[in-house]
Structure 1
Amino acid sequence: MNLLFLALDVGTAAVTVAVALCAWRLLKGPELSDRVLALDTLYMNMVALIILLDIRWDTELLFEAALLVAMMGFVSTVALARYITRGDVIE
């Protein structure tokens, strides 16, 4: 069981570093497309972090939160892509 907790801690630390790097790219991105990709990657990393913490804390509540974050991330990525390409989200 200790090996599982060690793997979860290492995975959580790695995903936390990935979240920090995505946040840095979101703030410092030279172009708008870099920032949109960083936001999309940030959503994916947040889903991974929530699932890792859910497994670590042995609860089932956070799986629903991960599902909601994943759905919001997909919808916001599509909306931002449509806004960048067309100038509006809903035609």
Structure 2
Amino acid sequence: MNPLLLVIMVVFAVAAILTVIRIVIGPSILDRAVAADVLLTEVMCVLGADMAINHHTRTLPVLIVVAAVGVFGSISVARYVARRDNTPS
């Protein structure tokens, strides 16, 4: 394994652990949604770094699917929060 890729993976692993802590702690659904977006972005960055360092495009479909999940997840949470805020109390 390339030493540069190993360093990148360690740095992103620490960031992912901190992001998962934010997802668990919360406190609001929007904090969790932003943290989930950050986690998906970290996964995308690791996949992109792997593709750039090893000069391949085998994981490009995975990268596209992860990006789509992130977009659709953000839209779903935004619609849920907007609908919840518009209900009379």
1:34-49 aligned at under 5 Å gives the runs 34-49=31-46
- In the other structure, the counterpart of 2:22 is 25
Tell me how far 1:56 sits from its aligned partner. 5.2
| 1:13 counterpart = 2:10 | yes
Task: State TM-score, norm by structure 1.
Answer: 0.77
In angstroms, what is the RMSD of aligned CA positions?
A: 1.7
1:77-88 aligned at under 5 Å gives the runs 77-87=74-84
Give the counterpart letter for 1:7 in structure 2: L
Tell which deviates more after alignment, 60-69 or 45-54. Answer: 45-54
Mapped to 1, the partners of 2:65 and 2:51 lie a distance apart of: 14
Q: Following TM superposition, where does structure 1 have runs of at least 4 consecutive aligned residues deviating by more than 3 angstroms? A: 53-59
Structure 2: where are the runs of 5+ without partners? 85-89
Tell me how far 1:70 sits from its aligned partner. 0.8
Task: State TM-score, norm by structure 2.
Answer: 0.78
Mapped to 2, the partners of 1:58 and 1:12 lie a distance apart of: 17
